[in-house]
């Protein structure tokens, strides 16, 4: 989740052939495959402006910034709360009805409640046009952040997941067919050790709800998961699969992505590049990508964070 800090400008000039883990600066990456390309939509790291951008790759290793896809200064309702500052945090994207739907967090939670918006475009690069109002607003012990929308390949229903930090409460909704409003909210049992950053994926008819646990800027931040027979549970807690090690701290707010050609799975996440265990961590977080493996029972094996070359998995042209 969130909190954007500036990075020295000389880092922006590094040549693409040096790309490796970590693959770029930023946080809260939502990774997807569109056609023959991977895409990442992160919380931006290089600007004080409240904007979102898209990044494209053919191999998970070399990434090109495709430009700004949404500017909160051009979304009229964002400033209606009169808050002195707004953060552009933790976006997500989904495709349905031959349209791309871009979901995003508008923070902070105080002095006014956080909100989640949705914008619509014709392609992964937009341009995205906002729906005209917040999709979900925080309050009463719920922080409206970290949206994720999962379109179930089984029946094409879309499910919305959001919530975190203040209250550490997850809420789940079935999306209406227009993808910019809700059909209904689903009452769920709160997943064990849930803090924020929910993500849903399905593999071999098992639904995997994964999420971040702990505090965003210390070594407790980690990724845990549950399995379920449906996108709404019931959840069976399976444990932690990604946590701090001797070189990196606070890995989390992740997404899973599959190479459609090789059927390999990967986790895309942010982390702090430090061996220091004493929080709070300051400076910029980095995005990293590591391979995900499942055992014979379909459970996710512990993810080992890598440096250097990282992973490479071309989709093919």
- Annotated catalytic residues are 28, 196
Q: 81-137: per-residue pLDDT in tens?
A: 999 999 999 999 999 999 999 999 999 999 999 999 999 999 998 889 999 999 999
Distance CA(295)–CA(45), nearest Å, equals 35
Tokens of 132: 């005209």
% pLDDT > 70, the chain: 94
Domains, in order of start, for the chain: 9-292 (2.115.10.20)
Structure tokens at 26: 């930023």
Phi/psi for 210 (5° steps) reads -115, 160
Q: What is the pLDDT of residues 257-312, one digit of tens each?
A: 999 999 999 999 999 999 999 989 988 899 999 999 999 999 999 999 999 878 99
**Integer CA distances (angstroms), 82 to 162, 163, 170, in order:** 24, 22, 27
């Amino acid at each position: 989740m969130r909190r954007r800090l500036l990075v020295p400008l000389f880092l922006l000039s590094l040549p693409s052939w040096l790309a490796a883990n970590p693959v770029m600066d930023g946080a809260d990456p939502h990774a997807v495959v569109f056609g023959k390309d991977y895409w990442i939509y992160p919380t931006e790291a290089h600007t004080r402006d409240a904007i979102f951008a898209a990044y494209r790759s053919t191999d998970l290793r070399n990434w090109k910034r495709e430009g700004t896809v949404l500017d909160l200064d051009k979304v009229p309702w964002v400033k209606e709360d009169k808050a002195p500052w707004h953060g552009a945090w933790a976006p997500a994207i989904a495709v349905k009805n031959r349209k791309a739907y871009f979901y995003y967090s508008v923070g902070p939670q105080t002095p006014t409640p956080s909100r989640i918006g949705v914008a619509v475009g014709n392609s992964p690069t937009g341009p995205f046009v906002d729906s005209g109002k917040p999709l979900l607003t925080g309050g009463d012990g719920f922080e409206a952040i970290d949206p994720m929308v999962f379109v179930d390949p089984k029946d094409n229903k879309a499910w919305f997941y959001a919530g975190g930090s203040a209250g550490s409460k997850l809420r789940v909704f079935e999306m209406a067919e227009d993808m910019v409003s809700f059909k209904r909210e689903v009452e769920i049992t709160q997943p064990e050790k849930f803090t924020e950053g929910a993500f849903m994926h399905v593999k071999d008819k098992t639904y995997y709800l994964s999420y971040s646990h702990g505090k965003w800027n210390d070594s407790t931040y980690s990724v845990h998961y549950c399995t379920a027979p449906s996108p709404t549970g019931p959840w069976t807690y399976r444990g932690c699969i990604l946590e701090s090690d001797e070189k990196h701290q606070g890995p989390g707010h992740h997404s899973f992505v599959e190479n459609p050609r090789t059927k390999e799975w990967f986790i895309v996440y942010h982390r702090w590049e430090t061996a220091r265990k004493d929080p709070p961590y300051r400076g910029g977080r980095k995005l990293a990508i590591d391979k995900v493996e499942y055992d014979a029972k379909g459970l996710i094996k512990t993810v080992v964070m890598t440096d250097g070359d990282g992973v490479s998995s071309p989709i093919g042209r």
